[in-house]
């Protein structure tokens, strides 16, 4: 993971830092990330838990005068009066290895609400297949099918096919649908089906107080299905207790949201973010509906 994009200017400088803070039920929470010079000796303690060729990305001989000074990403968490710190070594190219995050022994062991993130490109094939395998033969499987029928009403079933190792990680293999009696690979059904499948799966796997983050939620979806998409997201999130944060640049998308918003319920809001302003401009359900009815531009 290229962590340079977390800071202004997209360049890692020693001492550069950023923080995120908030308060919930009177308890303040914060995390501060700082880039610091690392120590080869300290980094190698983590390296011993890595496998294969990952180790040589971090190793620097202590007596090598020409070696690039290693960098580390220091994370400091605070929850109320409690504090915790973690230092993670970066590769010579400024990357943070996901292997380190997987083996970090100091992670909290307590159960945390699930969090899922869908990028503009959507979920990877491996992630979609994994989420579907967790959902199949559960009551939530019908929720997923209902979502897909928003775009293709003739979908009867969806199933995982074959070993995931048969497919490259960036393809859309591994799943097939029964459409009007015919078996059709999901990858041949278009971007809209794949997008909605990922959203539906992520929703049901975020149940029980989880959070779903979706970047450009309308990507790959025709404007005619946006209202049905929002209705699926809203009703599923309400039923499964999921908080959804979605971004869009589309007027069609937020106007479709107006058909789902119910004035006075305070369950949906639209936040317009403008560069240089410290706070977002908030629109309530009633204001979203009025803007759509009167054709008011609020982007």
Q: Residue 156's domain spans which residues?
A: 115-260
pLDDT of residue 82 exceeding 80, the answer is yes
Same domain assignment for residues 120 and 255: yes
Same domain assignment for residues 93 and 216: no
Q: Report DSSP letters for 188-253, one per residue.
A: GS-HHHHHHHHHHHHHHHTTTTEEEEESSTTTT--GGGHHHHHHHHHHHHHHHTEEEEE----HHH
pLDDT at 46: 41
Q: Which residue has the higher pLDDT, 68 or 130?
A: 130
> d(Cα 200, Cα 203) in Å, to the nearest integer?
5
Same domain assignment for residues 119 and 99: no
Q: How many structural domains compose the chain?
A: 2
Does pTM top 0.75 for this prediction?
A: no
Same domain assignment for residues 95 and 136: no
Does any domain span residue 283?
Answer: no
Does any domain span residue 16?
Answer: yes
Nearest to 108 by CA among 86, 138, 141, 130: 86
pLDDT of residue 285 exceeding 60, the answer is yes
Same domain assignment for residues 65 and 164: no
Write out pLDDT tens, residues 186-217. 777 777 788 888 898 999 889 889 999 999 99
CATH of residue 132's domain is 3.40.50.300
Same domain assignment for residues 251 and 211: yes
pLDDT of residue 65 exceeding 60, the answer is no
Does any domain span residue 173?
Answer: yes
Write out pLDDT tens, residues 95-150. 887 666 654 444 444 567 889 999 988 887 788 888 888 888 888 888 888 877 87
> d(Cα 45, Cα 72) in Å, to the nearest integer?
13
Taking a C-beta distance cutoff of 8 angstroms, is the pair 105, 88 a contact? no
pLDDT at 202: 92
pLDDT at 184: 83
Residue 135, H or E segment: helix 125-135
pLDDT of residue 247 exceeding 90, the answer is yes
Same domain assignment for residues 79 and 205: no
Q: Which residue has the higher pLDDT, 199 or 39?
A: 199
- What token pair was written down for 82? 């409690």
pLDDT at 264: 73
pLDDT at 101: 60
Same domain assignment for residues 133 and 209: yes
């Amino acid at each position: 993971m290229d962590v340079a994009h977390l800071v202004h200017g997209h360049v890692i400088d020693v001492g550069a830092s950023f923080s995120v803070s908030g308060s919930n039920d009177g308890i303040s929470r914060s995390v501060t990330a700082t880039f610091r010079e690392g120590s080869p000796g300290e980094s190698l303690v983590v390296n011993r838990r890595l496998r294969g060729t990952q180790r040589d990305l971090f190793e620097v001989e202590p007596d090598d005068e020409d070696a690039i000074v290693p960098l580390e990403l220091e994370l400091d968490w605070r929850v109320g009066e409690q504090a915790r710190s973690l230092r993670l070594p970066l590769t010579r190219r400024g990357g943070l290895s996901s292997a380190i995050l997987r083996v970090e022994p100091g992670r909290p062991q307590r159960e945390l609400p699930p969090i899922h993130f869908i990028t503009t490109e959507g979920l990877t094939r491996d992630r979609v297949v994994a989420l579907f395998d967790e959902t199949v033969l559960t009551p939530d499987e019908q929720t997923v099918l209902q979502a897909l029928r928003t775009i293709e009403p003739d979908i009867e079933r969806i199933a995982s096919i074959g070993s995931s190792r048969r497919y490259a990680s960036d393809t859309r293999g591994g799943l097939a649908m029964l459409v009007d009696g015919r078996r059709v690979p999901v990858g041949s059904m278009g971007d809209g089906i794949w997008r909605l499948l990922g959203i539906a799966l992520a929703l049901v796997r975020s149940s029980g107080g989880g959070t779903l983050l979706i970047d450009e939620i309308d990507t790959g979806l025709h404007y005619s299905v946006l209202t049905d998409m929002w209705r699926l997201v809203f009703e599923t999130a309400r039923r499964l207790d999921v908080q959804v944060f979605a971004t869009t640049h589309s007027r069609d998308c937020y106007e479709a949201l107006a058909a789902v918003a119910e004035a006075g319920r305070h369950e949906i809001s639209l936040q317009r973010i403008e560069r240089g302003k410290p706070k977002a401009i908030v629109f309530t359900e009633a204001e979203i509906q009025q803007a759509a009815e009167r054709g008011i531009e609020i982007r």
